């Protein structure tokens, strides 16, 4: 106790005898508070006030096309519908021909734009398949590319127990397909000096996700690829944006009921298209060309940036995935007994 009193006395005397040190500490404290307030106001303004770039900059209502992968369900289908509503012709890309045809017809009936589709199984696509995709894009004035197709694990699982075909499919779809589709579409954008590329990512790419290790790594890859590509093509008036996404109601997430933190695809996509070019919740996070546009996702992302300590969030995610796996296994066991 005496040592503590002596230490306090020493600190007090130091401040008394050295006003320069005191002034410096006060200045640093003031600067930190002002910086925090400024950053928070910027983030809130981007979430709730400031508009993003107009889609007209990328050819909306000017005969341009939008290419959307994974376009027959969930977020992908919603991107196709909202881009059609904004005035783009739509090229739908996915595996299921029947669903592609239905979605294309729905778009033409609702929005009176041209809509075509191309069927490709990205998990099994070879050179011939990508040549076919390139042929479908040929001659089109493509203003927007949405790299939405993705695959996650069937349920949380330790990496050592993950089926090898699941590992291969996730990497092939989430990484290679994004590269090959972008590689096909980008040259025409560079030639026209105009374009928008949206790479749909995940919080799992920012916070390592135990029991989803392969999926998490594939989304981290998407973050880095987007940042590097964005810097390359900035001179060509092309915007590349990594769309950081928390849970959205969809088949991929296996979530059916919305909450303030888990929206339906429609409001999520509206937020993305209304905030193009703004980092929103990813501002000040050190992730160039990343945006977290949906309001509650943005607030969560910003809070995570302020708190730091990814190991804390990683531990929480691990516990969450253990619980999800336990419940999924119990459900599978019940269904097996019924069968």
The residue length of the chain stands at: 339
Residue among 143, 222, 84, 145 nearest 133 (CA): 145
Whole-number Å distance between alpha carbons of 136 and 145? 14
Q: How far is CA 29 from the centre of its chain?
A: 35
CB-count burial class (<10 Å; 0-12, 13-18, 19+) for 126: exposed
Q: Which of 111, 130, 215, 246 is catalytic?
A: 215
Residue 87 is classified by DSSP as T
Q: Is 111 a catalytic residue?
A: no
Strand ranges for 43-127 from DSSP E:
65-69, 89-94, 115-119
State how far the alpha carbon of 210 is from the alpha carbons of 203, 207, 326, in Å: 13, 9, 15
Residue 290, strand partner residues: 242
State how far the alpha carbon of 38 is from the alpha carbons of 34, 43, 50, in Å: 6, 9, 15
Q: Which two tokens stand for residue 206?
A: 């920012």
202 is in an annotated binding site: yes
H/E element holding 197?
strand 195-200
- Report, as residue numbers or ranges, the catalytic residues: 215
Binding residues: 202
Binding residues for substrate: 202
């Amino acid at each position: 106790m005496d040592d503590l009193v002596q230490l306090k006395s020493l600190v007090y005397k130091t401040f008394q005898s050295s006003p320069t040190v005191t002034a410096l500490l006060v200045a640093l404290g003031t600067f930190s508070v002002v910086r925090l307030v400024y950053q928070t106001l910027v983030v809130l303004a981007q979430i709730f006030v400031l508009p993003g770039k107009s889609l007209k900059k990328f050819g909306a209502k000017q005969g341009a096309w939008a290419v959307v992968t994974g376009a027959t369900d969930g977020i992908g289908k919603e991107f196709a519908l909202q881009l059609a509503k904004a005035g783009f012709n739509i090229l739908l890309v996915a595996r299921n021909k029947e669903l592609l045809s239905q979605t294309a017809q729905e778009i033409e009936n609702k929005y009176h734009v041209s809509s075509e589709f191309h069927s490709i199984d990205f998990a099994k696509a070879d050179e011939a398949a990508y040549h076919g995709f390139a042929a479908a894009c040929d001659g089109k004035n493509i203003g927007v590319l949405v790299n939405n197709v993705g695959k996650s694990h069937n349920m949380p699982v330790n990496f050592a127990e993950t089926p090898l075909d699941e590992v291969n499919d996730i990497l092939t779809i989430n990484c290679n397909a994004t590269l090959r589709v972008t590689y096909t579409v980008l040259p025409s954008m560079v030639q026209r000096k105009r374009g928008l590329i949206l790479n749909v990512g995940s919080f799992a790419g920012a916070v390592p996700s135990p029991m989803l290790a392969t999926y998490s790594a594939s989304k981290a890859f998407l973050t880095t690829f987007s940042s590097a590509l964005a810097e390359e093509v900035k001179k060509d008036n092309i915007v590349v944006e990594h769309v950081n996404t928390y849970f959205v109601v969809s088949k991929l997430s296996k979530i059916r009921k919305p909450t303030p933190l888990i929206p339906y695809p429609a409001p999520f996509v509206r937020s993305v298209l209304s905030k193009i070019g703004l980092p929103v919740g990813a501002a000040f996070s050190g992730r160039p060309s990343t945006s977290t546009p949906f309001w509650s996702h943005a607030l969560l992302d910003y809070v995570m940036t302020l708190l730091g300590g990814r190991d804390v969030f990683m531990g929480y995610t691990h516990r969450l995935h253990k619980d999800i796996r336990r419940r999924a296994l119990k459900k599978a066991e019940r269904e097996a007994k019924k069968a």
